[in-house]
Amino acid sequence: GAGHYNLTAKNFSKAVSKKPLMLVGFSSPTCHKCITYEPEYAAAAEALRSMKVPFARANIDKFREHLRDLGPVELPLLVVYKKKRRYVYESQHSASNIVSYITKLKSPVLQPLA
């Protein structure tokens, strides 16, 4: 599928802790809805590449234990890992919305002036 590389159970922890910000798309080869979003993911992956944010892909069947605390999840599932924190993406799976969400997460947190 679209994305910069695939994650496995073996390389997952190292990959998400190594990058300051990473988008992971969890899906399944048997998920029709996942397949229909592939063109959007391909466009998002290209835009994210220019922002230096990797878009990794992972087969949900290999990560059920890792995501168990989220409860039942709907596929496809996009999760952003930022500084070891996990943010579940809950908006439309369009390239523009995904890129907009990542842009907001990349922005520094503004502190009010005292």
Q: Which of 29, 61, 63, 49 is nearest to 95 (CA)?
A: 49
**Residues 40-46: what's their mean pLDDT?**
95
pLDDT bracket for residue 110 (50, 70, 90)? low
State the pLDDT at residue 6. 86
* pLDDT for residue 16 is more than 80: yes
Q: Which of 38, 41, 11, 8 is nearest to 23 (CA)?
A: 41
CB 75 within 8 A of CB 28: yes
pLDDT bracket for residue 51 (50, 70, 90)? very high
Token representation of residue 91: 């908006």
Distance CA 75, CA 60 (A): 9
Distance CA 97, CA 81 (A): 17
State the pLDDT at residue 67. 83
Going by DSSP bridges, is the β-strand pair 77-82/85-88 parallel, antiparallel, or unpaired? antiparallel
